[in-house]
Chains A and B, each alone.
Chain A
Amino acid sequence: MIKLEEVTKIYPPDTIGLESVSLHIEKGEFVFLVGASGSGKSTFIRLLIKELEPDRGRIIVGGRDLSTLRRWKVPYLRRNIGCVFQDFKLLPSKTVADNVFYALQVTGNASASARRKVDEILNLVGLGHKTNNYPHELSGGEQQRVSIARAFANHPPLLIADEPTGNLDPETSAGIMQLLYRINKTGTTVVMATHDREMVDKMRRRVIALEQGQVVRDQLRGGYGES
């Protein structure tokens, strides 16, 4: 699903984002990306959706080499990658339902069945009763569930999340993790950057640890810290 070969990203003039990272993530995996602040987790995620270009190396996502992917094709790449962020990134002027619907509309799917699909997904994340509210009327945890619903609306093969629980209390975080876990169960590959030590230790999934842009640990059933 994801393959990195000697990927290096340097922010001008000389800040290291990632340095010679090579790794391979299989279809259907659940991967935690851990590391101190500034270790390169967000850089990694932004490279995957071609929001950033690497200075060296090759990135292959879903069989597509991102370095040769034409600029106008980037939107089509992103429709196959669900994205969840710490700050939710919901459209403030759209209702909950319209936010999720938007992800379907950009693919040209604005049918009545797409509308029903939106309701289904919102029910699935437990927000069936808030479809007509605006994002600012929701709690942080609810907003994050909307953004997960949106990320999952197209049933993408890959879902990446950059600290999706970073702003949430432990209990709400557990609910979000539960959602991501269930999405992973449907076959979607999930890559999640996080600082949440407890969560990572409990889940016992593959852990990739970064330090100053380099992979310092890649463990199949790892914990947050060394083990």
Chain B
Amino acid sequence: MPGLEDLYREIILDHYRSPRNRGELPTPPALSAEGFNPLCGDEVVLYLNVDAEGNVTDIKTGGQGCSISQASTSMMGAAVKGKSIAEARQLITAFKALMSIHESKLEGGDATAATEEAIAGVRLGDLEALQGVVKFPVRIKCATLAWNTLTQILDESDSA
């Protein structure tokens, strides 16, 4: 039986209480998207400034929700700021793999080689604190909301 301490790690509560990069950026030039978790009403709003070289020069976040969704948003912003879009995409893949590896282990399976590979070589740092979330399957959507919203922005900017 996973304990609450697995879920609510200190660093998560810290990001929840003092979210990094809160605020807004003027659009345009900033790219922006809103993500909703229709099940529970959690909301995430992201603003991204991307320069001509494809680097994320600034990021601001808004929204409201539980400690997991808001901490994940804050940690994601801190991790992505200053990175290139390609690096940001790697982080997204690695983070989502982190969420699904444990999911498949819970179901009695083994992590696939592909997801292991997605994580290998990507420094997740503080984000690894969120891995306890996968032991609480209904909360995985809280943790991935910000990341899906980021994917949405990057995909839209690709097609623009």
User: A and B bound?
Assistant: no
B residues neighboring A (CB under 8 Å): none
